[in-house]
Structure formats: C-alpha cells, structure tokens
C-alpha cells in the first residue's frame, strides 16, 4: 500500500468516524495523527486501516 493510498483511505474514512466503535475511532485518530506527521504505517496498521476502509466506505449502502 502506497503512501498516497493511505492518505486517500484516511481522508475518506473521516466522514465515517462517527459510526466507528470507540476502539476503532481511537485507532483511526492515531492514523490521522500519523498521516499529519507523514509517517508510514507498519504492515499491521495498514491491514487494520484497509479493513476499516472496506467495512465503512466500500460496503456502504447508496441511497437512491
């Protein structure tokens, strides 16, 4: 996962932060801080970020 993909995922997940559980939201806030500092995520963090992205952004129900 590239740095640009991580930035895009974090940016899109910001709209869904209010739907996350407390632990997911804390982890997400850590990813936001790491993005601000331009730090790369380790493989475990990348995996968790991808899971959160898939859960909240990819599988969302679109209203007609």
For the entire predicted model, the pTM comes to 0.80
Question: Is pLDDT above 60 for 64?
Answer: no
The per-residue b/e assignment along 1-30, b for 16 or more CB within 10 angstroms, e otherwise, is eeeeebeebbeebeebeeebeeebeebbee
SS3 track for the chain: CCHHHHHHHHHHHHHHHHHCCHHHHHHHHHHHHHHHCCCCCCHHHHHHHHHHHHHHHHCCCCCC
Task: Sketch the domain layout of the chain as residue ranges.
Answer: 3-58
- pLDDT, tens digit, for every residue of 8-34? 999 999 999 999 999 999 999 999 998
């Amino acid at each position: 996962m590239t740095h640009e993909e991580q930035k895009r995922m974090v940016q899109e997940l910001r709209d869904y932060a209010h739907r996350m559980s407390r632990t997911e939201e804390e982890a997400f806030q850590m990813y936001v801080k790491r993005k601000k500092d331009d730090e790369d995520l380790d493989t475990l963090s990348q995996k968790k970020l991808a899971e959160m992205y898939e859960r909240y952004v990819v599988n969302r129900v679109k209203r007609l």
